[in-house]
Amino acid sequence: MRRRSHSAVNCPVRRLGFGTAQLTGPGYWGPRGDARDAVAVLRRAVERGVTLIDTADNYGPCVAEELIAEALWPYPAGLVIATKGGVVRTSDSAWHVDGRPERLREMCEASLRRLRTDRIDLYQLHRLDPSVPLAEQLGVLDELRAEGKIRLIGLDTVTPEQLLDALELTSIASVQNRYHLRDRSSEALLTVCEERGIAFLPWFPLGDGALLTDPACARLAAAHGVSAGQVALAWLLHRSPVLCPTPGTGTLAHLEENLDAGELRLSEGELLAL
């Protein structure tokens, strides 16, 4: 399954990771079914060689982080856990951005407790708060990094200009934006990441499920004897060496299918067709 690794400030990971949002209920709210199933999926992902687990404090809220600790603590060497803060949930459809420095510190320290760790490998600002100066939002993350509570800082849902502004203030290891075969609106951001050696973790790498039935993917899938979703994930791995998709699922069968996409090789002609 091992594809080319991407190293963000000496933090190498296998590019095909695992996202935990689907371990929670509809709207990323509450648990999803039996916690034992989620624990089994997380453990199997690591058994299969996944070294990047992506989560957020508001998945549940808190549920996903707690499941990670239950399943994987004490964490094996080389496992990178990325979480996020800066968004507060009050219902299954309510998301509130809060980038006040004191709140970001509280969120980070709460994630440390839930994850049972002294340091978060990659802490991502889930959204930029337009009501708080960017220097203040990143400043508290820099403080947390200096205190040893964060190893690397990432950003979620930003423009190329916002990324460049952030880079003037501190080092950024990763970004997360929507990006997949049928949504390439973050192409300019991807270019900046390639130029700066910044990891790009595309969210909704399967188009929130739409690519599982995409006709173009289905045609290539039939030719290779794989699924349309595997074609969509393989396209991301071929598209750029900085792309690190973290598809999520709550079932073992779908996990195996997603991870097998790392073995799929597409020809130049097939990539052009997509």
Show which residues are catalytic: 59
Both tokens of residue 234?
A: 């393989």
- Taking the C-alpha atoms of residue 189 and residue 257, their distance in angstroms, rounded to an integer, is 29
- Taking the C-alpha atoms of residue 249 and residue 227, their distance in angstroms, rounded to an integer, is 15
From the centroid of its chain, how far is CA 88?
18
Residue 65 neighbours by CB under 8 Å, 6+ apart = 55, 57, 59, 83, 111, 114, 115
- Taking the C-alpha atoms of residue 92 and residue 23, their distance in angstroms, rounded to an integer, is 14
- Taking the C-alpha atoms of residue 32 and residue 42, their distance in angstroms, rounded to an integer, is 14
Both tokens of residue 198?
A: 């910044």
Instruction: Scan for tokens 């299969």, then name that residue.
Output: 48
From the number of C-beta atoms within 10 Å of its C-beta (0-12, 13-18, 19+), residue 35 rates as middle
b/e per residue 126-154 (b: at least 16 CB within 10 A):
bbbbeebebeebbebbeebbeeebbbbbb
